[in-house]
Amino acid sequence: MRIVVLGVGNILLSDEGIGVHAVNALSAAYDLPPEVEVIDGGTSGMDCLDQIAEADLLLIADAMRSGVEPGTITRLDDSQLQAFFKTKISPHQVGLSDVLATLNLHGLAPKRTVLIGTQPQSFALGMEPTPALAARLPAIVEALVAELAAAGRPPARRAAA
């Protein structure tokens, strides 16, 4: 089994970079099984085509506009992603939907895709998420860990230094 955890976002625009911050926090806090690859996808989704092609599970962390309280975490899986791409709720939707469509067109789409999205508060210039999202970062990481565990590849938490 090959699992790709993809963090998406622009870390120069505060909450826009929450997906990247989440995968970096995951990598820092956990020892991941060898079948799990973590990718900082930033804002260049097409550059990740080869890395996510034919994954058994593509797990995406991203900012997602869903009209709820900032910091709210939403999980979408394969059955819900089609509706997700019909309305623009992610700043990277066009790039991400293009990547997934390209992989599908070539018969290389991941077997399963799960999106862990977080409602942003602000896209103002800034290298850190807003306090509302920074406070939710551990919960986002735990949502990623739960998905990995559900896939039979639970990561091991590193001992505190």
Beta strands in the chain (DSSP E): 3-8, 30-31, 36-42, 57-63, 73-77, 112-118, 156-157
Q: Give 76's strand partners.
A: 115
C-alpha–C-alpha distance, residues 129 and 123, integer Å: 9
Tokens encoding 92: 């990277």
pLDDT of the chain, 161 residues: tens digit per residue:
999 999 999 999 999 999 999 999 999 999 999 999 999 988 776 777 888 999 999 999 999 988 899 999 999 998 787 666 555 545 544 467 777 778 888 898 899 999 999 999 999 999 999 999 999 999 999 999 999 999 999 999 998 76
Tell me how long the chain is. Answer: 161
Model pTM greater than 0.85? yes
Q: CATH for 3-157? A: 3.40.50.1450
Among residues 161, 160, 155, the alpha carbon closest in space to that of 31 is found at 155
**Domain residue spans in the chain?**
3-157
